[in-house]
Structures are given as C-alpha cells and as structure tokens.
Amino acid sequence: MNIDSNYAVNILKAMLEIYSPSGAEEEISLFLLDEMRRIGFERVWRNNVGNVYGEIGSGSPVILLCGHMDTVPGRIPVRIEGERIYGRGAVDAKSSLAAMINAAALLKLSNLEGKVIVAGLVDEEKGGRGIRALLRENININCAVFGEPSGINNITFAYKGHLKLKVVFKTPTGHLGAQHLLPNAIEECIKFWLRFKRVCEEKYKSPQGIFYSLTPTIAKIYGRGTTNSIPDVCSLGVDLRLPPTIPSKRAIEIIGGLIKEFIEESGCEINFKATSIVEPYVADRENIVIKSLREAVLEETGKEAKLVRKTGTGDMNIFGLRLKVPVATYGPGESRLSHTYNESISIWEYLTSIKIYKKTVEKISLLYRSLREKEH
Ligand SMILES: [Zn+2]
C-alpha cells in the first residue's frame, strides 16, 4: 500500500463525503476501521460508544494522536477548487484526523520505537461522550496530541472552559388585564440576564483580553403564557466561557450569588442547574509534546511556531486534567472557518501537517527515551 500524497488526499475526500454530524458517526467509523486495517495498522478496534482506534508499534512511549469523527450539522458539497478541498469537517477536524492516520501509517514503515494509537472519537462537538469513554478504557498513555485546527504554524496550549446553565424563572400568573399588578416571568428573566451580563463586564472582564475574561452568552430563551394570562415561566439557557482563573465551581458561586440577590428583590422563584461543565485547561509550554511540535513545525515550514490560547473548548481539557500527561493541540486549517459554510483546507497545509505529525512523534519518542535514561 502506497501512503503518498495521492492517498492522503483521497482518504480525506472520502471522509468528507461521509456526512457525520454528532450522533451519526457509525458510517465513518466503519470506514476508518477498514481503512486503517488496509494500510497496515497492527491492531484496530471500535469501542462501545463508537470511537475507533488504530495502533502501530509497541513498547513505550505510548503516544496518542487523538482526533474526532463528528462535525457540526450542515452539509457542504465536497469539491476541490484550485488548491483547496471543501466539505463539512474539512477544517474541524477531519483534516487533522486524516493527517494523523497518514502519519501513523508512515511511522510504521519507518520502524518507530514506541507505540502510536490514533483515535477517532465521537461526539466532540456535542457532549464529549467519546473522550469520556476513552478515559474509562484506562489505556496506558504517556502523552497526546489533539487534532484540532490551529493553523500550520500555531500550537494550541490553552483552552477556556465552559459552563452551560439552565435558569428557570417562575412567577404567579393572572389575567393579562392585571399586568400592572403582577410580575411577568419573561420580563424578570430579561432583567436578570441584563444584570448578569453587566456584572460579568464590570467585574470579570480582564484587561488581558477575552481569554482571561468570564464571557456569558444567552443561548436559549423560552417563555410561556397561557391564553390571556401573564407569562409565569421563563427558561434561560446560558453559555459561560471560563478563563483559567475562574473554574466552574467559582462561576457557579458567582451566578448563584446573583440569583439569590435577585430572588430577594423580585420575589421570583428561580431554579438553576449546570447542564454541562468543562474546566479550563492550560498545558505546560515546556512539555515534550510542545517542544517536539515546535521543532517539527520549524523544520517543515521554516517558520517558528506560535503558541496560542483558544477561547473555545477542546477534548484536551477533559483529557489533560484527568491524566496529567504532556499534551498539546495541533492541526491544519484556519479555525475561523470552523462551523461555517466555507469550511475548506489548503491541500499544501494538510499534506505538510502529515509530515509535522510524523516528525513530532519521532521527536517525542527520542526525547522520552533520553528523559528515561537520565532518570535511571
Ligand atoms: Zn473540533
């Protein structure tokens, strides 16, 4: 089997042609299982939530190259125009996953010392079921690269966290004609939201910029009033992005305090709960994964890599906080195109990222062994 640039472009195109929004990853997972088997992965398996894994090599270190198979919904016709490939997932993040698979297949041919596991996870864009299942499998992993679009010259070392909240406001109802006498759940909800947003801006906005600020977004609002009655229920969905200085517990305290105050003032009944939590994560910039990535980027592109912080959230957050091993996120593509109808990737960038992943693994393997020798 010839793992060349033709093959690399073809497998990416095939992956883009399989539509795989979160929850519908089965077809692409079966495709990847077959494909990894065909190009020489030594062990290939699929777990109970549908993640696929392909393994090459043996011994240590065990290096995880971790991508995701799911995309946000919305079909984009797959096509090559000039030097770019278009398709849903071209940026976020099938190019990264395809590049990792190609890199591992090439590493097999070069007789790497150590083991590489490529993982294609499910549900990264939604609830993170894939990464949580991976952690439950207790695979022994020494370090990991997460494949998300950072751009060929950037390495992502930090992500904000997120906290999704559902806040429900209840007020007594009555005849709409008595509106001057009765509170209105929708209006109370809006009042609260505006206050909360103002408090975030006044107290939790950092002069160092958005990465260090607590940033709230209203994600959903639903109010109910029966015929001719004043609305008595309003439910608010809030998406809060957490800087490393404000973990979820602190953010819950902040919003909980404001809700308590608001209840006392307004007499509303308010309940709230967190529906999703991912803590912020900052990797050690000197770890062996980042060192190796930096060298590989410089050698392959001739330019110094830039270390960047992202205002989104990645599977790296969940993994890095749990396993406490060296990690970084790296992948081809401009993340500003993620989730848009313009998702497309430069073929040159994609092919270069294969070389960078491959070199990175080789460098990690060498660094890891020299560290081990120093310890003994
Ligand atoms: Zn992604």
pLDDT tens readout for residues 325-350: 999 999 999 988 988 999 999 999 99
Q: How confident is the model at residue 178 (pLDDT cuts 50, 70, 90)?
A: low
Give 70 Cα–ligand 1 centroid separation in angstroms: 8
Give 311 Cα–ligand 1 centroid separation in angstroms: 13
Give 309 Cα–ligand 1 centroid separation in angstroms: 15
pLDDT tens readout for residues 211-234: 999 999 999 999 987 777 889 999
Give 59 Cα–ligand 1 centroid separation in angstroms: 30
CA gap 30, 52 in Å, rounded: 8
Give bridge partners of residue 143 from the DSSP assignment. 63
Give 354 Cα–ligand 1 centroid separation in angstroms: 18
Sign of CA dihedral 251, 255, 261, 267: negative
- Residue 144 has a pLDDT of 98
Give 237 Cα–ligand 1 centroid separation in angstroms: 23
Model confidence, pTM = 0.90
Which SS3 state, helix, strand or coil, does residue 112 take? coil
Token pair 């830039």: residue: 306
- Residue 127 has a pLDDT of 83
- Could you tell me which of 159, 34, 155, 11 has the C-alpha nearest to residue 97? 11
- Is the Cβ–Cβ distance between 248 and 277 less than 8 Å? yes
- Residue 150 has a pLDDT of 96
- All domains in the chain, ordered by first residue: 5-159+280-375 (3.40.630.10), 161-278 (3.30.70.360)
Give 52 Cα–ligand 1 centroid separation in angstroms: 16
- Is the Cβ–Cβ distance between 34 and 18 less than 8 Å? no
CA gap 282, 156 in Å, rounded: 9
Give bridge partners of residue 310 from the DSSP assignment. 159
Which of 62-66, 171-175, 293-297, 310-314 shows the lowest per-residue confidence on average (mean pLDDT)?
171-175
Mean pLDDT of all residues in the chain?
94
CA gap 114, 315 in Å, rounded: 24
Give 272 Cα–ligand 1 centroid separation in angstroms: 29
Can you tell me the mean pLDDT for 28-39? 97
Q: How confident is the model at residue 110 (pLDDT cuts 50, 70, 90)?
A: confident
Q: Which amino acid, one-letter code, is at 134?
A: L
Give 214 Cα–ligand 1 centroid separation in angstroms: 22
Query: CA 75: distance to chain centroid?
Result: 20
User: Residue 177 above 90 pLDDT?
Assistant: no
User: Residue 266 above 70 pLDDT?
Assistant: yes
User: Residue 146 above 80 pLDDT?
Assistant: yes
CA gap 289, 38 in Å, rounded: 29
Give 49 Cα–ligand 1 centroid separation in angstroms: 18
Give 15 Cα–ligand 1 centroid separation in angstroms: 15
